[in-house]
Chain A
Amino acid sequence: MNETIFGGILGFEFMQNAILAALLSSIACGIIGTFVVVKRISFISGGIAHTAFGGIGLGYYLGVNPLLGVIPFSLAAALGIGILGKKLKVSEDTAIGTFWAAGMSLGVILIGLTPGYAPDLFSYLFGNILTVPTGDLVMIMLLDIFIVGVVLLFNREFLAISFDEEYAEVSGLKSTALYLLLLSLIALTVVVMVRVVGIVMVIALLSVPAAIARNFSRSIPSMMAMATVFSFLFSIAGLVLSYMFDLASGATIILVAASAFFLVQGWRFLSGGR
């Protein structure tokens, strides 16, 4: 790409915000996505993200920033799915499906009850990294700091419940409480990601970069670092492609990530697999 064009792009404030949003969301999704992948809970994450649509509806209905509405809804979904599965022995996919659909339905009804039409609704569903307001960036940054802080404090515990939950319990850990905490961090990561790829596609950025990183890492911290880098690269590549060809940015980012995923899987298959 021509240097002057690129310099020109970077001059725009929306572009600087977009790059910052890509960086901040990649940190959260690299770290939390690693646990999502090794603990195999991508579909819980999908459930949490879609339930959050109810929060977006609530935000519109109350006339506040929809991102603020997402926080209680995604947290409630995380705790609800976790408690139904662990304490009440409801099968996890049933709990996920119920929350997923109920949250979306609530969102649809609340948006329907809101007078007028819902501006930017599409950007919450499918993301638009080019229109992240500075205020949302501050919120995303604060959530990032919180997520990183909690993981720094509990990384050994999270590793233990991800690898061998029974042994974690025997070691005196409160494995259910830790699991609920981990799901809550996923819920907050969803909030971070909504502006970038939208609630419908959060699941891809939570799982694909970490899944690719797993092929090349020998420990959880290296997987987190690599997943963060991959996520950032996909976001920037998607951003540039969407700008150049005037495509929807969230969808472009996801397609870049998915292409990389299939390429890596194909390469693994051809190189003899494992």
Chain B
Amino acid sequence: MSEPVIVCDRLAVRLGGIQVLNGLTLSVFQGDFLGIVGPNGGGKTTLLRVILGLERPTEGSVRVFGGEPGSQPKRTGYVPQRLFFDRDFPLTVGGLVLMGRLSRRRFFLPYGEEDRQAVDEAIRTVGLQNLHDRQVGALSGGELQRALIARALAGEPELLLLDEPTASIDPAMKTGVYDLLDSLRGRMTIVMVSHDTGVITKHVTRIACLNCTLDMHEEGSSLKRAPIGDIYDYPVDAILHNHPQSGESEP
């Protein structure tokens, strides 16, 4: 195995007195495509925020690229779950994606040719080249999601973190997003939080089931064997049932 990109060691996070994550130990290696599934409130988004350095662990430790989370913005790309913004905000797709270059910007220097090339490349990768000058507020849900992925790609990250990239778009668009992620697979390490438990097993190399604590499943393993999963087409639940719910929220 190659270098671990993310190492969580007995990570615990409490937010507002609620135990969101508990005793979570996890390593993500270079080139991994890790899917994180689990119920709402299971701590998926919180885990991403900890990896990004937006939340601090209460106990345990997190190392990203061998350092503090958030200390290497150049190497990390992030696609938020949904973006609340003003539909009237005067910003084009090109301008939005250019923000992905912020982490690489040298202080006080204007964006250069290299930045523009990275932006064009990212926009082509997500297939929005015809919408380069479209106002962000005029995009459909799926287009916006692609634009946000392009913004993350424009920074040429080694680690891409996605928070439910398909949550707010229709099924046809979802396939497009997954095909896109498939094409990125191997080029960078990807960690994706998702609700599409049935679909993501086809795309990811490993799955983590997160409900305060964590279960890991390696490629092609256990999920297929879960009988209840076949019936409900919801394999994750089935796996979680194998372990009587541990790590209940502490008071």
Asked whether A219 and B70 contact (CB < 8 A) given A38-B86, A160-B99, the answer is: no
Cα distance A185–B85 when bound, in Å? 23
Nearest A residue (CB) for B134: A218
Residues in B whose Cβ lies below 8 Å from that of A173 = 102
- CB of B95 within 8 A of CB of A170, answer no
- CB of A164 within 8 A of CB of B90, answer no
Measured between C-beta atoms, what is the minimum distance from B7 to chain A in Å? 19
Cα distance A173–B89 when bound, in Å? 21
Residues in B whose Cβ lies below 8 Å from that of A164 = 80, 83, 85, 99
Nearest A residue (CB) for B133: A218
Asked whether A214 and B90 contact (CB < 8 A) given A170-B52, A170-B54, the answer is: yes
CB of B76 within 8 A of chain A?
yes
Cross-interface CB contact of B90 among A170, A171, A220, cutoff 8 Å: A220
Chain A: how many interface residues by the 8 Å CB criterion? 26
CB of B19 within 8 A of chain A?
no
Residues in A whose Cβ lies below 8 Å from that of B15 = none
CB of B27 within 8 A of chain A?
no
CB of A151 within 8 A of chain B?
no
Chain B 82-102 interface mask (CB, 8 Å, partner A; 1/0): 010110111110011001101
- CB of A219 within 8 A of CB of B90, answer yes
CB of A159 within 8 A of chain B?
yes
Cα distance A65–B161 when bound, in Å? 55
Cα distance A159–B100 when bound, in Å? 12
CB of B217 within 8 A of chain A?
no
- CB of B89 within 8 A of CB of A170, answer no
Cα distance A160–B52 when bound, in Å? 17
CB of B78 within 8 A of chain A?
yes
Cα distance A218–B138 when bound, in Å? 11
Cross-interface CB contact of A163 among B70, B73, B89, cutoff 8 Å: B89
CB of A119 within 8 A of chain B?
no
Cα distance A72–B25 when bound, in Å? 51
- CB of A172 within 8 A of CB of B103, answer yes
Residues in A whose Cβ lies below 8 Å from that of B111 = 156
CB of A167 within 8 A of chain B?
yes
Main SS of the interface on chain A? helix
Measured between C-beta atoms, what is the minimum distance from B16 to chain A in Å? 11
Nearest A residue (CB) for B100: A171
A13-63 residues with Cβ-Cβ distance < 8 A to B are 38, 40
- CB of B108 within 8 A of CB of A153, answer yes
Chain B 53-95 interface mask (CB, 8 Å, partner A; 1/0): 1100000000000000010011010101001011011111001
Residues in A whose Cβ lies below 8 Å from that of B89 = 38, 163
Residues in B whose Cβ lies below 8 Å from that of A40 = 86
Residues in B whose Cβ lies below 8 Å from that of A215 = 88
Nearest A residue (CB) for B161: A170
Cα distance A163–B70 when bound, in Å? 20
- CB of B78 within 8 A of CB of A167, answer yes
Nearest A residue (CB) for B49: A166
Cα distance A163–B96 when bound, in Å? 9
Cross-interface CB contact of A220 among B74, B86, B91, B133, cutoff 8 Å: B91
Cα distance A170–B155 when bound, in Å? 12
Asked whether A223 and B90 contact (CB < 8 A) given A153-B108, A159-B99, A163-B85, the answer is: yes
Residues in A whose Cβ lies below 8 Å from that of B92 = 218-219
- CB of B99 within 8 A of CB of A171, answer yes
Nearest A residue (CB) for B99: A160
CB of A265 within 8 A of chain B?
no
Cα distance A171–B80 when bound, in Å? 13
A183-231 residues with Cβ-Cβ distance < 8 A to B are 214-215, 217-220, 222-223
- CB of A170 within 8 A of CB of B99, answer no
- CB of A38 within 8 A of CB of B105, answer no
Cα distance A218–B88 when bound, in Å? 9
Cα distance A21–B156 when bound, in Å? 47
- CB of B91 within 8 A of CB of A219, answer yes
Which A residues are within 8 Å of any B CB, using their own CB? 38, 40, 153, 156-157, 159-160, 163-164, 166-173, 214-215, 217-220, 222-223, 274
6 nearest A-B residue pairs (beta carbon) = A172-B73, A171-B102, A171-B103, A217-B90, A170-B78, A223-B90
Ordered by A's residue number, 25 sampled pairs between the chains whose C-beta atoms are within 8 Å are A38-B90, A40-B86, A156-B102, A159-B95, A160-B99, A160-B102, A163-B89, A163-B96, A164-B80, A167-B80, A167-B151, A170-B53, A170-B54, A170-B70, A171-B99, A171-B100, A171-B103, A172-B70, A172-B74, A172-B102, A214-B88, A214-B90, A218-B92, A218-B135, A219-B95
Q: A160-B102, A171-B102 are in contact. List 7 more A-B contacts (CB 8 A).
A: A38-B89, A156-B111, A164-B99, A170-B52, A170-B76, A218-B92, A218-B135
